[in-house]
Amino acid sequence: MTLVGTSARRADGEDKVRGAARYGMDYLEHGTLVAKVLRSTVPAARITRLDCSKAASMPGVRAVATAADAPGLSGLMIVKDQSLFARDVIRYVGEPLAAVTADTAEQAEAALAAIDVSLDELEPVLDLEQALAQGTRLIHPDWESYETAMPGPREGNLAWETRVERGDVDTAFDTAHLVVEDEYRTQRQHQSPIEPHAAVARYEQGRYVVHTPTQFPHNVRGRIAELLGIRLSDVRVIVPTIGGGFGGKLDVMVEPFACVLARKTGRPVRILNSRSEEMTTCGPRENAIVRLRTAVASDGTILAQDGVVLADNGANSSGETVAVANVAPLVLGGTYRIPNARYASKVAYTNTTPTAAFRGVNGPYCVYAQEQHLDHIARELGMDRKELRMNNLIRRGESMVNGQQLDDAFLVEAMDKVDEIRPWQDAQAERRPFRGVAVVPLTWLTNPLPAAASVKLEEDGTATVTCAGAEIGTGAVTTGVLQIVAERLGLRLEDVRVSPTDTDTGGFDGGAQGSRTTYGMGNAALDAATKVRDQVLEVAAGMLEAAVDDLEIVDGSVRVSGVPDQQVAIPSVVGTAMFDSGPIGASGKFATPPIPFDSGCMAGAAVTSFPAALYQAHMTEVEVDPDTGRVTVLRYVVAQDVGRAINPQMIEGQIQGGVLQGIGYALFENLRLGDNGEVIDDNLESYRLPTAADAPPIEAAILENPCSYGPLGAKGAAEPPIIPVAAVIGCAVADAIGKPINELPLTPFAVLQAIKES
Amino acid sequence: MSYSFTLNGQPVEATAAGMTSLLSVLRDQSGLLGAKRGCGEGRCGACTVLVDGSPVDSCIYPVANAEGTAVRTVEGLASHDEPLTRIQDALLEHGGVQCGACIPGVVMTLTALLETESNTDDSTVRSSLTGNICRCTGYQKIIDAAQAAASSNGGPR
Ligand code: FES
Ligand code: FES
């Protein structure tokens, strides 16, 4: 029986198509109160008065919470600069000032309106570059007092910086044949899962029990605890069905409000974002500026690169922007050989909504910049764009900018596969006015965070997996992990189930992020399943009076290899074990092995390497309407190395979905900010998401280049398809109109303007 | 006010202000949580139900307009002890479901399409789906599922 490698149906699928799955937004408890949050309407101010006494005595109001109820400072992993409620200072439009819980939503809203707030407004700092300019007002005057998880360069409005430096950059620039310099600007992109953030909390036996559709339950547990100033084990996070996340549900968002109010009232409290709250207060992908300067030889060999990435943190470090800042240099220097490099990735505070993780963190805009820049170099040299890339591509055994040797590099193979599907020469030969073509290779990582899982056998011979892995929708838990366990145990897929995600019962898991669930949780579950299998064989060997090595598990029975009539069914093995060696079950765990890299070349880096590195190439052909500026993606080809394809259909789904999110980012998604730093696009009319009409045909080739420490060779698959999309579309549009555009998104207006200027 | 209509074949009487959304009545009064409030503003289609066979965004559809109609929701397609309908089954077979939050709406839109439209070529399916946002799948597998379900014989079951 081979389950791994088959496109098995997802175990949670029937309930989803029947409308029976219970999502976070559907979850309710008996007697649940409604919570609403009062948020700032100004971007920067000192709070001179916040009086909730009138609100607290209004009809139906059960409790009001303010900064005094949540004394902790927190942040996503690195810089602890976030309080749940604004204390004396307001730093962005949308910052929480107070929260109310009442019997009905109307009563809670009425109470919010009755809270008396007086402010002294401050001059807001909204612009990324202005934030770092000399003499600009400090958004966090107390920045030095904040606790950090590690040392790193930071000062004033520079929330964090990471640096990578290798080789002799200045000499390379001095002696180069050609030096090319460019600047690129990119926008905010909102995750916009169909399910908004929602949470129900209750306070029982001195602990907080929170139901929330989060991607990363253990992170939410820890972040609630930090914000409230309590022990993390005093919080229990239970995860209902998750209605999408894409990075937007990695971090704590509405949960702590429900917790504080549940404690104050002794009642379950529910908070559910409206779409507008979702768009305006839940951190998007950061806007960024990327400056690249590159030295090349006359044959196009890259000699050196000097790059600065400026990313907008927003008002605090509650999102992932600081934690993953070093992904920028690694992705800039992970695909091509760059022997001499100097990169700085700077994350700046502004008086805007904090930015956060969105699938492919930092990647899409860095790759967009790098690839437009390479096309600029190719133009200067009069060189074929693909040839320039192939000549500089990292090959097996060569190193990334951090000194990490890529022994399994598969970039050439990915480029070749794409070329097989749509030969570059043909695409060039068939060029027509206002049609463009481009191809982009990419190295990316699998998130390396650890995982724990346990597996037990039930008396009926079925298996149950218990873990805190979150099923974000990819199928990584409900197909991938289950396929791996079923295969190892010799059981049918339908005889293996996973119990609901719960931080009390499941060990630590690094969350559904960075394509890590099949890899990390898959490894932990495989470890547990292997131990369970050993126990089964041990007991069965005694029952069959055979050696363990002679046994195999087939179709739910243990048998002596080659002697089919000498067998025992698994339930009877479980029954025998029960009173003999004890119930069958085991825990498994996984941590990514250390990845060798040159630690001396980096400062401030929380992400230091690309574990379980994976390789891909994207190719597209586009057409531009010269009258309207509209870009149509005619064809899109992906070749992606996944290590080992556990469920090919699910992987294809990740590729198709990721590419379409990338097309939205490339062509129209743009979460705009107004003159007060407020989010303008607070609805799905002005923030347009890709529809079925925007989806081009996508051809996906899955490549298998096994990872030695991945489960059965698997590495990440779900995150990366979004990353090169804006890059390859940007290059193809530039090819179509004969002119680069150094800013995203490539709206009809921007494209038309570029055509007119040329 | 009180409004009468049939809900998944059963007569119901909803007491609510006329401008109350049909979605609120379904979720808060009828206990039917299948249709989702993805946006509440008529943009995402996660709340799609059929009124007299036509898909509507129930989040902006006043319950008053449902008076005298037949309303169908995802729960009414196949009851729990019955097999899936063809479109439900095809969505799973073709990998068209990821997080699934859009799916109750997608299933209703495609059910209406299969009931009314004999032509289910790519562009027909695509245009029928433009009111249903799916942030996960990129739509291709949903379209594959719709075409597969249409090409198997008979009605939607
Ligand atoms: S919830 Fe009705 S259209 Fe989005
Ligand atoms: S499957 Fe997640 S929105 Fe469609």
**Sequence ranges of the domains in chain B:** 2-76, 86-151
Please give the Cα distance from A636 to A167 (Å, whole number): 37
Chain B residue with CA closest to A698: the answer is B140
Q: Supply the DSSP string of A596-611, one letter for each residue.
A: P--GGGEES-S--S-T
Crossing angle of the two packed helices B122-129 and B140-151, in degrees rounded to 10: 120
* B3 CA: distance to closest CA in chain A (Å): 24
Whether A140 is covered by a domain: the verdict is no
| Residues A580 and A486 occupy one common structural domain | yes
pLDDT one-digit tens code per residue, A576-629: 999 999 999 999 999 999 999 999 999 999 999 999 999 999 999 999 999 999
Q: Strands, E, within A376-450: which ranges? A: 435-444
ipTM confidence: 0.97
A255, A281, A307 - which closes a domain? A281
Q: CA torsion A681→A684→A690→A692, rounded to 10°?
A: -170
| Domain at A628, CATH number | 3.30.365.10
A92 and A196 in a single domain? The answer is yes
Tell me, using a 6 A CB cutoff, whether residue A244 lines ligand 2. Answer: yes
Q: Does a structural domain hold residue A259?
A: yes
Among the partner-chain residues B74, B95, B104, the one whose CB lies closest to the CB of A653 is: B95
Residues A62 and A209 both lie in one domain: yes
Q: Which two tokens stand for residue A439?
A: 């191809």
Q: Are residues A732 and A678 in the same domain?
A: yes
Comparing alpha-carbon positions, the chain A residue that sits nearest to B77 is: A18
Q: What does the pLDDT average to over A189-207? A: 98
Domain boundary (A261, A281, A301) is at A281
Q: For position B156, what pLDDT does the model report?
A: 47
DSSP A63: E
Q: Give the number of the atom of ligand 2 that is nearest the alpha carbon of residue A193.
A: 3
- B52 touches A: beta carbon within 8 Å: no
Superfamily of chain region B86-151 = [2Fe-2S]-binding domain (1.10.150.120)
Which domain, by its residues, includes A238? Answer: 24-122+191-281
pLDDT at A523: 98
Q: Which residues of A touch B35 (CB under 8 A)?
A: 19
Q: A683–B97: do the CB atoms touch at under 8 Å?
A: no
- Based on the fold, state whether residues A436 and A578 are members of the same structural domain: no
Nearest to A684 among B41, B74, B99 (CB): B41
Question: Does A427 reside within a domain?
Answer: yes
Whether A527 and A395 map to the same domain: the answer is no
Percent of chain A whose predicted confidence (pLDDT) is above 70:
100
- Same domain, yes or no, for A627 and A641? yes
Q: How many domains does chain A have?
A: 3
- pLDDT for the residue B154: 54
Q: B133: Cβ below 6 Å to ligand 2?
A: no
Q: Are residues A721 and A656 both part of a single domain?
A: yes
CATH number (domain holding residue A35): 3.90.1170.50
Tell me, which fold does domain B2-76 have in CATH?
Ubiquitin-like (UB roll) (3.10.20)
Q: Rounded to an integer, what distance in angstroms lies between the CA atom of residue B148 and that of residue B142?
A: 10
> Is A288 a member of any domain?
no
Nearest residue by C-alpha to atom 4 in ligand 2: B134
Residues of A with CB below 8 A from B130's CB? 691-693
Look at residue B118 in the predicted model and tell me its pLDDT: 86
Q: Ligand 2 within 6 A of A194 CB?
A: yes
Radius of gyration (C-alpha) of chain B in whole angstroms: 15
Stretch A168-186: mean pLDDT: 98
What is the 8-class DSSP label of residue B110? H
Distance separating alpha carbons of residues A225 and A74, to the nearest angstrom: 9
Q: Are residues A490 and A573 in the same domain?
A: yes
Evaluate whether B51 touches B69 at the Cβ level (below 8 Å): yes
**How far is Cα of residue A670 from the mean position of the Cα atoms in its chain?**
18
Query: Is A519:A710 a contact under the CB 8 Å cutoff?
Result: yes
Please tell me the distance from the alpha carbon of residue A669 to that of residue A654, in angstroms, as a whole number: 19
pLDDT at A705: 98
At A711-752, the pLDDT tens digits run 999 999 999 999 999 999 999 999 999 999 999 999 999 999
pLDDT exceeds cutoff 60 at B127: yes
Closest-CA residue to A365 (of A345, A385, A348, A394): A345
CA nearest A663: which of B9, B140, B1, B155?
B140
A691:B129 CB<8 A: yes
B93 touches chain A (CB under 8 A): yes
Angstrom distance (rounded) from CA A659 to CA A696: 9
Whether B155 has a pLDDT exceeding 70, the answer reads no
Nearest Cα residue in chain B from A682: B39
Q: Are residues A246 and A209 in the same domain?
A: yes
Boundary-marking domain end, from A281, A303, A320:
A281
* pLDDT digit string, tens, across residues A143-176: 999 999 999 999 999 999 999 999 999 999 999 9
Residue A135 within a domain: no
Could you tell me the pLDDT band of residue A562, with boundaries at 50, 70 and 90?
A: confident
Mean pLDDT across A451-476? 97
pLDDT in tens, A517-554: 999 999 999 999 999 999 999 999 999 999 999 999 99
Residues A443 and A470 in one domain: no
Q: Which ligand is nearest to the CA of B102?
A: 2
Q: Is B140 in Cβ contact with A695 (below 8 Å)?
A: yes
Length of chain B equals 157
| Residue at A596 is within a domain | no
**CB burial readout A581-608, b (16+ within 10 A) else e:** eeebbbbbbbebeebebbeebbbbbbbb
A661 with B91: Cβ contact below 8 A? no
Q: Are the beta carbons of B99 and A14 separated by less than 8 Å?
A: no
DSSP A82: B
Place of tokens 């490339």: A666
Q: Clarify whether residues A206 and A228 are in a common domain.
A: yes
Q: Which helix (H) or strand (E) holds A456?
A: strand A451-457
Please identify among residues 54-73 of chain B the ones whose CB lies closer than 8 Å to any CB of chain A: 73
B141 in contact with chain A, both atoms CB, cutoff 8 A: yes
Per the prediction, chain A carries an average pLDDT of 97
Give the closest residue (by CA) to ligand 1 atom 3.
B42
Q: How many other CB atoms sit within 10 Å of the CB of residue A382?
A: 7
Rounded to whole angstroms, the Cα distance separating A209 from A213 reads 13
Task: Identify whether A1 is part of a domain.
Answer: no
